Copies of this chain bind each other. A is one copy, B any other.
Amino acid sequence: MPPSSSTSDASPPGLFDGVLARGRVREDVSDRAWVQAMLDVEAALAAAEARAGLISAEDAEAIRSGCRAERFDVPALGAAAAAGGNPVIPLVRALTDAVGEPAGHHVHKGATSQDVLDSAAMLVAHRALGSLLDDLGAAAASAARLAETHRHTLVAGRTLLQQALPVTFGFKAAGWLVALDEVRDRLADVRRRRLAVQLGGAVGTLASLGEAGPQVVSYLADELGLSEPAFPWHTIRTRPAELAGALGEAAGVIAKVAADVVLLAQTEVGEVAEDRAGGGSSTLPHKRNPIAAVSASACAAQAPGHVATVLAAMAHEHERAAGSWHAEWGPSRELLRSTGAAAAWLRECLDSLRVDERRMRDNLGLTGGLLLAERVTSELAGHLGRLPAHDLVTDACRRASRTGRPLADELGEVPEVAALVDPARLRELLDPAGWVGSAATFVDRALDRHRARKEEDV
């Protein structure tokens, strides 16, 4: 297979990629990027073998100079992959031809196809996680900004989608921030510790490299900037599995934040809106759809199935799997792509989020004070006991719901209440601003950790 003469430098987006493959990760996991990663592994292998004295530095350099993805014909590699069951076999043939003699001799020395593909997968993941962490970092920065700005903005806390107690919007955003920072830590940790080269030869023993095998593995890791494994992991799939799990977690966190945005943006709630281009509808000119949050949800929803497929494919038989290895390729790549897209969308969503404090305040007033019922219960419980107080307040709430009168009025007419709490205290008890507990403390903690984390990164 002759190297392709094409010099196009990018992978054009597919039909659904505008939605499902947003962000830089799409390029990071493209066919072109994969071919380059496999070539990087071949080049690094040659360099490592030169350092170990197995081949000459000149040969290694000759190999390295042939390892440029744009010189290879991806569709031809894809088609030829069918014969042997993976794309490394035709790539090695093409690279050997491209390098020519004498160095061509030493291409792929001691390696098996899986070594190259597994190591390339780790390289691709390393690069894609870079983009993904960048987008998650920007989303976290937006969440931090919202948490800080809205530290005192009151909003209804909602449980089971019912208004429950007041919180601050800063507290909501701080929760997003904590979640985003947690998965950033998790992904960064997996990236740092668990992305390792794989080199084992046909059955993991590196038989054809003689005594030098483990040394070559070490040099290979050094050349590629990946971890060095103590043991070949061609059939120990904890690394792809842990990466998949961490991506699944990240997707879950993105889905949570996006779900909150979509719910807050409902016409009847209207507390936030995405203030960005797009969001129009083909038929409904007045719609202001939260497209970024919706797309983030859709991309994040791809993750659980992919994680399951990666986990289900862990039982690699003996010294190379009869299908389970190939079964990893698709979901591992899709997980990076779709979680990366989810992160890119969330970044756009939070970056553009417009907050409507007036609607938040109006919505808090919708229930005529019912929202503060717990506080009254709490006050009364000191006098009457928890359950009697609960039952008494519940009754008043039911009456207020039925009659539409404010809870203060209903409660004021209950003799036990009137006897224990004067009207001024009752008003105070029903003021949302006085019943947000430790929200501010938690916001401070979230911001402190976020800032400490960022400085540490520098």
Contacts and interface: CB of A to CB of B under 8 A. Distances in A.
Contact of A252 (B167, B241, B260, B279): B241
Given A163-B267, A312-B301, A326-B20, A285 B386 contact: no
B311 A162 contact: no
A450 B334 CA distance: 35
Interface residues of A, number: 191
Given A87-B16, A87-B18, A305-B309, A288 B162 contact: yes
Given A159-B203, A268-B268, A314 B84 contact: no
B280 A84 contact: yes
B390 A285 contact: yes
B327 A441 contact: no
Nearest to A392: B285
A9 to B, nearest CB: 14
Nearest to A106: B386
Interface stretch (A41-49, A125-133, A178-186, A418-426): A178-186
A277 B398 CA distance: 13
Contacts of A442: 204-205, 214, 230-232
Contact of A439 (B93, B205, B245, B390): B205
A14 interface: yes
A66 interface: no
A3 to B, nearest CB: 15
A214 to B, nearest CB: 6
Interface stretch (A56-64, A73-81, A135-143, A219-227): A73-81
B267 A162 contact: yes
A205 B438 contact: yes
Contact of A373 (B161, B246, B284): B284
27 contacts: A14-B31, A15-B74, A18-B78, A84-B278, A85-B278, A85-B295, A89-B280, A105-B385, A111-B283, A158-B318, A160-B294, A165-B201, A167-B319, A201-B437, A207-B375, A208-B375, A231-B446, A241-B252, A251-B314, A259-B317, A284-B374, A285-B393, A285-B397, A295-B323, A302-B327, A304-B305, A305-B331
A451 interface: no
Given A249-B241, A289-B162, A386-B107, A323 B297 contact: yes
Contact of A256 (B237, B249, B267, B449): B237
**Majority-rule SS of A interface residues:** helix
A400 B327 CA distance: 33
A352 interface: no
B96 A167 contact: no
Nearest to A296: B323
Nearest to A90: B18
Interface in A304-340: 304-309, 311-327, 329-331, 334, 338
A258 interface: yes
A318 B157 contact: yes
Contacts of A172: 318-319
Nearest to A207: B437
A363 interface: yes
Nearest to A369: B286
A36 to B, nearest CB: 11
Contacts of A256: 235-237, 314-316
A85 B291 contact: yes
**Residue with the greatest number of chain B CB neighbours at <10 A, chosen from A20, A330, A331, A363:** A330
